[in-house]
Amino acid sequence: MRRGRVQMPRCVIDGVEATIAETTHTFARHSHDGFGIGVIVRGGQRSASGRGPVEARVDDVITCNPGEVHDGSPLDERGRAWRMLYFAPSLIFDAAGELMLAPSRDVELTQPVTHDPRLKMLFERLFSVSVEHAAHADDLACEEALLALLGHVGARHMTLKPRRLPPAPIARAKARIDDDPAVSVTLSDLAAEAGMSRFQLLRNFAHELGLPPHAYRMQQRVMLARRLIADGTTLVDAAAGSGFADQSHMTRAFVRLLGVTPATYAAAVRGH
């Protein structure tokens, strides 16, 4: 069977990105920098979520939190199809504040998979007005649909959770990568930053962050490239600026982690 495809159509709401997928592709462990809410429309998916192993089937709602490491594979050879919206964290935090759920950013989506017909309906309504009918979108209709979804999520699917920070030595090694993912760094460099052996660093980094250092740096490079592309940087310059050997290297990393090419992402975020 063909592997299928992942599309990123334009969403007219600032801070929201859309994905339409129908694929047999198995996604490597990765995370997103926003909150994700979506619906399975065909087949089923298995995922090692940051909130435990899960399976999602047709009409189930799937979610992810920022920085939550997860993967994804089809339940069988027929693959699966889903639609997803990714929300900038500020949208969720602002909604939580308006709903008086939390005075801070200490909120998360509770379940990685849930069967909630009303949430599914609200998602489909928002997807329709902001993505499927983007060419004729009405700002008021989009805002109402967005707030209806976030209000239901806040009431039924959001939990207060204090942020858990990695131990200081691992936080220092993580910061070494975060500060400039494009810069080359060795395990010895990271171990020295953390004040531990390379073996200890490798074991503890993966335990705390869900990814070993190389995979984490590759993910950060993809995220940096995404920001550069969204700001209008050419694909060639985005690849160079985020530490990839060339544009082809960046494209392979994009597809492996996100299922889409940088060109597809550029078209979605630039409105072409």
Interval 96-127: pLDDT, tens: 888 876 666 788 999 999 999 999 999 999 99
Half-sphere exposure for 264 (CA within 13 Å, toward CB): 18
Beta bridge partners of 27: 72
Asked whether the domain spanning 168-270 has the same topology as the one spanning 4-160, the reply is no
Q: List the domain boundaries for the chain.
A: 4-160, 168-270
Cα(19)–Cα(38) distance, integer angstroms: 9
HEC string for 176-240 = HHHHCCCCCCCHHHHHHHHCCCHHHHHHHHHHHHCCCHHHHHHHHHHHHHHHHHHCCCCHHHHHH
pLDDT tens, residue by residue, 232-249: 999 999 999 999 999 999
Q: Is the pLDDT of residue 272 over 70?
A: no
Superfamily of domain 4-160: Jelly Rolls (2.60.120.10)
User: Over the chain, what is the mean pLDDT?
Assistant: 91
The fold for domain 168-270 equals Arc Repressor Mutant, subunit A (1.10.10)
Confidence of residue 135 (pLDDT cuts 50, 70, 90): confident
> Taking the model in full, what pTM does it have?
0.87
